[in-house]
Amino acid sequence: MTAPTTTQMAHILKRMYSQNRVFNLVYDNNPFLAMCPKAQFKGAAEAITVRYADNVGGRSPAFATAQAQVNAHKGEQFLLTTVSDYQLYQLSFEAILAGRDNAATLLSTLDTEVSAAIHNASRSIAIAMYGSGSGRIGVIATGGITGDVITLSNANDITNFEVGQVLVADQGTEGGTLRDSGDSMTVTDIDRSAGTITVSAVANISGLAAADGLYMKGDAQNGGSKVRLSGLEAWNPSSAPSATLFFGVDRTADTDRLGGVRINISALNPEEGVIVALHRMARDGAKPSHLFLNYSDSQNVHLALGTDAQREYTTVGEVGFSRIRILGPTGDLMIQPDVNCPAGVGRLLQLNTWKLYHRGELLNLQDLDGAKQSRIYNEDAYEGRISFYGQMGCLAPGYNARLTMPT
The pLDDT value given to residue 4? 44
Beta bridge partners, 383, equal 90, 374
Q: Which residues contact 217 (CB under 8 A, 6 or more apart)?
A: 166, 167, 168, 182, 184
Cα–Cα dist 185/162, whole Å: 13
What is the pLDDT averaged over residues 70-95? 86
DSSP state of 290: E
Is residue 192 within 8 Å of 158, Cβ to Cβ?
yes
Is residue 403 within 8 Å of 281, Cβ to Cβ?
no
What is the pLDDT averaged over residues 26-32? 83
Is residue 365 within 8 Å of 224, Cβ to Cβ?
no
136-216 CATH pick, 1.10.760, 3.40.50, 3.30.70, 2.40.10: 2.40.10
Cα–Cα dist 125/214, whole Å: 17
The pLDDT value given to residue 2? 41
| Dihedral angle, C-alpha 56, 243, 393, 115, nearest 10 ° | -160
Is residue 5 predicted with pLDDT exceeding 60?
no
Q: How confident is the model at residue 104 (pLDDT cuts 50, 70, 90)?
A: low
Q: How confident is the model at residue 372 (pLDDT cuts 50, 70, 90)?
A: low
| Dihedral angle, C-alpha 230, 152, 340, 184, nearest 10 ° | 60
158 vs 67, residue with greater confidence: 158
Q: What is the DSSP string of 196-212?
A: EEEES-GGGSTT--TT-
Category of 245 on φ-ψ map: left (φ > 0), alpha (ψ -120 to 50) or beta = beta
Q: How confident is the model at residue 69 (pLDDT cuts 50, 70, 90)?
A: confident
Q: Spell out the domain ranges in the chain.
A: 1-54+74-133+228-407, 136-216
C-alpha distances (whole Å) from 133 to each of 102, 184, 222, 303, 328 are 45, 20, 11, 33, 32
DSSP state of 233: H
The per-residue pLDDT of the chain, averaged, comes to: 88
Beta bridge partners, 152, equal 140
Q: How confident is the model at residue 317 (pLDDT cuts 50, 70, 90)?
A: low
Cα–Cα dist 220/214, whole Å: 9
Cα–Cα dist 313/320, whole Å: 7
The pLDDT value given to residue 118? 87
Q: How confident is the model at residue 89 (pLDDT cuts 50, 70, 90)?
A: confident
Is residue 261 within 8 Å of 281, Cβ to Cβ?
yes
Share of the chain above pLDDT 70, in %: 86
The pLDDT value given to residue 195? 96
**Range name among 110-119, 219-228, 322-331, 370-379 with the lowest pLDDT average:** 370-379
